[in-house]
Structure 1
Amino acid sequence: MAEHTYTQFSTDLELVRSSFLRMGGVVETMINTAALALADGDLALLEKVRTHEKEVNQMEVEIDEHISHVLARHQPAAIDLRMLLAVSKMLTDMERCGDEAGKVASVTRRIYEGGSREMPLIELHHMASDVLDMLRQTLDAFARLDAVQAAEVVRRDKAVDREWKAALRHLITYMIEDPRTISRAIDMIFIARAIERIGDHAKNMAERVIYLVHGADVRHKGVKTAEREARGEPDEDELKIKSILSGQRPVQDDGSSEEEVASDSK
């Protein structure tokens, strides 16, 4: 009976994991399709984004319900519990990635249906490619339970933020130089902002992967902390405090104590 229960739990857990990865794959397709439509002006692609958006919304509800079922039925602990809690939080970020891709598609339609065929001299496609790669990397880190790879995504978000700020500056300059382009440039700002937010959500999910693997909450703690926790390295300040509380002398990198170093320097 116990073996049957464990087998059922493993099956339920794998269903949550695989369903989330499948949802991530659909969102990847949405982002890529929206970016292609922006580049080519192919409005037929935009309908595919809308269809996928409904699919993603439905998947979010179904996976969330299944997580609630697994928690109530099996009362998991340790990494299994972290898996369910992490996916529950990541679902929201993944669904919002889909929402942002939908915004890119909607604004793209408005641009092209309004007869605006000339885009501002700003390259958003590289930015879109970056956030799409961040999402793929996050999903791969989740599938492999690779916290170090997840930390790379956290760092990459800084580069996307810089791209967003550069795009905003260029578009503002574009509007100042030619006021007739204000409407079109504002639409492009909306698109750039949506792309940047996809990067933010990918970063949030990457932080959850680090939590899943190591049980460390690295939200709002910076890139260096995320990378250190991902490698499983202890915090140096915490080590010093524990050393002091235990009555031991803090040890330097070369193995000598702080007191020995001070004595040698005299």
Structure 2
Amino acid sequence: MKINPENHSTHISQKFNDELEEIRSQLLEMGGMVEQQVKDAVQSLLDGDTRLAKEVRAKDQQVNHLQLEIDEFCTQILARRQPAASDLRLVLVVIRATADLERIGDEASKVARATLKLAEEGASPRGYIEVRHLGNHVRQMVQDALNAFARFDSAKALEVLREDENVDLEYRSATRALITFMMEDPRAISQVMSIMWVLRSLERVGDHASNLAEYVIYLVEGQDVRYAELAQIEAAIAQRKQATQASD
């Protein structure tokens, strides 16, 4: 059954409504925290700002704590309310999504750690433009995935999945360019390798954003699209949309 955001979470028990809304709000709060982590981590690297890098790493504990709180709240809802249908999907999606958000925070922390390492070794001669572009790209993916969740918008989630392919292409292109540079100038291998690990972390952020988008599609469309090809997901959503329009 497809979720209609207008009538989702309407129950006899107002308390149950409030609990479902609370886990949605908490997930979005956690998402905002990790999105800011990614932004600050990239900025710390570009500016060589070790203070900001340390703040990013310190914030990781807050993200971890919030994940535990949300998971515990979801467990209580499952035990007390025994939700079904779309409500059950919502709770399951929140549990899954917090795990991916926590991993995004971990990747941001790795980028911040690279900032501290490069501050000691000396800045890399190449790769900062690539970090800026890829960092902006994956941060937008995270933001779009969270907006899709907030609005029960499977079309926006599908856009995030399409962007993941572009991120992968961008990552591979940047990696090839940096490998070529290291072959030409081995003196900078250590610093450039740090940038390559940063790019790898950012690419992983894009992967986790894609996971978030898949959860939104599952939540809204009632179809688990993990491991499905993009073309299959697009076809399934289009078919369901046509069926819905035909029944109206």
Flag structure 1 segments of 5+ consecutive residues without an equivalent: 236-266
Whole-Å Cα distance in 1 between the matches of residues 170 and 143 of structure 2? 19
Match in the other structure for 1:238: none
- State the AA in 2 paired with 1:199: G
Q: Which amino acid aligns with 1:68?
A: T
Cα-Cα RMSD: 1.8
Out of 240, 243, 246, the residue aligned to residue 233 of structure 1 is 240
Aligned with residue 181 of structure 2, among 164, 170, 174: 174
- The match for 2:61 is 54
Rounded Cα–Cα distance in structure 2 between residues aligned with 1:192 and 1:199: 11
Task: Find the aligned partners of 1:139 and 1:4 in 2 and give their Cα distance.
Answer: 25
Q: Is the 2:97–2:215 Cα contact (8 Å) retained in structure 1?
A: yes
1:32 to 39, 42, 63: 39
Asked whether the equivalents of residues 161 and 230 of structure 2 are also in contact (C-alpha less than 8 Å), the reply is yes
* TM-score using structure 1 length: 0.84
Q: Which moved more, 1:36-45 or 1:141-150?
A: 36-45
Aligned length: 233
1:131 aligns with 2:174: no
Cα distance in 2, alignment partners of residues 131 and 122 from structure 1: 14
Distance 1:228 1:202 in 2: 21
Cα distance between partner residues in 2 of 1:224 and 1:103: 33
Match of 1:98 among 99, 105, 109: 105
8 Å contact kept, 2:40–2:53? yes
Question: What secondary structure is seen at the aligned counterpart in 2 of 1:116?
Answer: coil
**2:190 maps to which residue?**
183
Q: TM-score, normalised by structure 2?
A: 0.90
Aligned to 1:21, which of 28, 45, 58?
A: 28
Q: Which runs of 4+ in 1 moved over 4 A?
A: none
**Aligned residue among 214, 218, 222 for 2:225:** 218
What residue in structure 1 maps to residue 76 of structure 2? 69
Q: CA deviation at 1:47?
A: 1.8
Distance 1:121 1:150 in 2: 29
* Residue correspondence of structure 1 range 200-211 to structure 2 within 5 A: 200-211=207-218
What residue number does 2:245 align with? none
The answer to whether structure 1 residue 196 and structure 2 residue 203 are counterparts is yes
Q: Secondary structure at the match of 1:233?
A: helix
Letter in 2 for 1:53: D
Q: Which has the larger radius of gyration?
A: 1
Deviates more, 1:114-123 or 1:203-212: 114-123
C-alpha distance after superposition, 1:102-124 (max 9, x if no partner): 00000111012212263447522
In structure 1, the residue matched to 2:88 is 81
Q: Aligned-pair distance for 1:34?
A: 0.5
Q: Does 1:160 align with 2:152?
A: no
In 2, Cα distance between the equivalents of 1:121 and 1:108? Answer: 11
Measured after TM superposition, the shift of residue 5 of structure 1 is 6.7
Q: Cα offset for 1:207?
A: 0.3
> Match for 2:197: what amino acid?
F
User: 1:231 offset after TM fit, Å?
Assistant: 3.9
Closer/same/farther in 2, CA of residues 4 and 24 from structure 1, 3 Å limit: closer
Query: Can you give the 5+ residue segments of structure 2 that lack an aligned partner in the other structure?
Result: 1-9, 243-248
Cα deviation, residue 134, structure 1: 0.3
SS at match of 2:130: coil
Q: Which amino acid aligns with 2:131?
A: L
1:214–1:232: 8 Å Cα contact kept in structure 2?
no
Are 2:51 and 1:44 aligned? yes
Alpha-carbon separation, structure 2, partners of 1:109 and 1:230 = 45
Cα 1:190–1:132 change in 2 (3 A) is same
SS at match of 2:83: coil
Distance 1:231 1:42, change over 3 A: same
* 8 Å CA contact 1:122, 1:171 repeated in 2: no
Contact 2:124–2:188, Cα closer than 8 Å, also in 1? no
Cross-structure match for 1:250: none
